[in-house]
Amino acid sequence: MSQSEDGDGPATEEARAPLPDPVRNRVVALAADALGRIPADTLPASLRRVASFAPGRRARLAGSQIAGVLATDADFRGRVTTQVRLAEPDLVAAVEAGVVPEAADPVEVAAVAYLVGAEGWQDLVHPVDEALAQRNERAEQAREQADRLARQLEHSQEDLRTARARNRERVEALKAENSELRHKLAAARDRARAAEETSAAAVERVAASQAATATASGAAEAEVRRLRTRIEELEGELAAVRRSDRTAKDAGTLRARLLLDTLLESAQGLRRELALPPVTGTPADEFGPLGDAGPTAGETPRPTQPLDTVTALRQLLALPRAHLVLDGYNVTKTAWESIPLESQRIRLTRELAPLAARTGAEVTVVFDAAERTERPVVRTPRGVRVLFSDPGTIADDLIRELVSREPVGRPVTVVTSDRAVAADVQRMGHRCVGSATFLELLASG
């Protein structure tokens, strides 16, 4: 049985029972989408300002408020139900008839059944709970698999370090062998020079003998023949020495090149097999307590102007090696002031992960922990760095010190609405953007 024609929704205690988060979020999304099609003068006063937002922003910024009005204002619920009937007539008719399409999303079916007050809508919520349980089980299995892969990677890295150590030993042995070959080559060159000097002396003696042939031709001719034979022997020895030197040099060069190619191919093969990324680093990777680290001599930066549009911020993050630094609580309290600080941190870091993956920028978020001696546990997503200020040090000072470590000319953008921090960042030559503008970038995707 469906809800009454005047739009009243479920009224029993069972109907007001908590909904699973996916169903509740879908109910809020449907209501947020319907706000734009309901006449403003018929909306509750608390939702009239929200109705001017985009549907996605309505659900994100005023989801709890919309859910509360749905639960307490029957007229508003009826108008939302009317819009859902117009938007999803086939699904609403199937739900009211008690025939749920097999291909329909169980979350969508449960949300529509809850809004129209279909009979037995509570039964449609159970498949959603089961799907959530299955999803959690799959997530746990994925985490276990990730742990196994991490252990395998650690073992592989240890094997790689062992292989590198062996390769270094082989390189040292190769260097020693190469040094020995160089010494042998130098000795062979010395012998070649001595042979050349001997040959020159022999040629001189031949010339002297030829000069004496006028008086002792017979003896001189014999001496000339002997000397010529000796010259040929010496020239043969010289040629043999040269060939030996060239062969030794070529063999040493060939062995060295062959071993070097083997080492390079082994290292490249290990890198491809392990899919190791190139080693990189940034100033923030080794950030620690430092003194005043302003611009060096001859590098006085020009003050910049704050960014005031999402387009400009998106273009800046698209630059190579861009670094985005966020004043964590300044951003979270602008968007989600009503929720606890821990939930604010979790939500911000979760929404920063897709931005870091999409832009490739280095992302660092700084939280204030000046009045705490222990650090909260934060599950840091991939591509996001989370820092807490030291006891007695506010996050603003940590941001100033972090930015001062960056080289002049690198595209660094600081997200904060604190005017003092923004002014200091701009004097250092870097960019600053307000928290509201940054939240618009997150909302736009």
Cα–Cα dist 310/318, whole Å? 12
DSSP state of 386: E
Q: Give bridge partners of residue 366 from the DSSP assignment.
A: 327, 387
Q: What is the pLDDT of residue 404?
A: 92
Indicate the pairing of strand 384-388 with strand 412-415. unpaired
Instruction: Say how far residue 237 (Cα) sits from the centre of its chain.
Output: 66
Q: What is the pLDDT of residue 300?
A: 55
Could you say which architecture CATH assigns to the domain 285-444? Answer: 3-Layer(aba) Sandwich (3.40)
Q: What is the pLDDT of residue 132?
A: 62
Which phi and psi (to 5°) does residue 326 adopt?
A: -115, 135
> What distances in angstroms separate CA 3 from CA 11, 46, 165, one per listed residue?
10, 25, 75
Cα–Cα dist 408/368, whole Å? 26
Cα–Cα dist 101/432, whole Å? 51
- Longest CA–CA span in the chain (Å) reads 148
Q: Which residues contact 293 (CB under 8 A, 6 or more apart)?
A: 401, 404, 405
Indicate the pairing of strand 384-388 with strand 362-367. parallel
Other C-beta atoms closer than 10 Å to the C-beta of 318 total 13
Residue 323: which of 366, 377, 293 has the closest Cα? 366
Tell me the HSE value of 325 on the side-chain side, using a 13 A CA sphere: 28
DSSP state of 409: T
Q: Please list the rounded mean pLDDT of every run of 10 residues in the chain (445 residues).
A: 43 52 79 77 77 77 77 79 78 71 71 70 62 67 83 87 89 89 89 87 82 71 85 86 77 72 73 65 46 38 68 90 93 93 92 92 91 79 90 91 88 94 92 93 86
**All structural domains of the chain with their residue ranges:** 21-124, 159-274, 285-444
Q: What is the pLDDT of residue 131?
A: 62
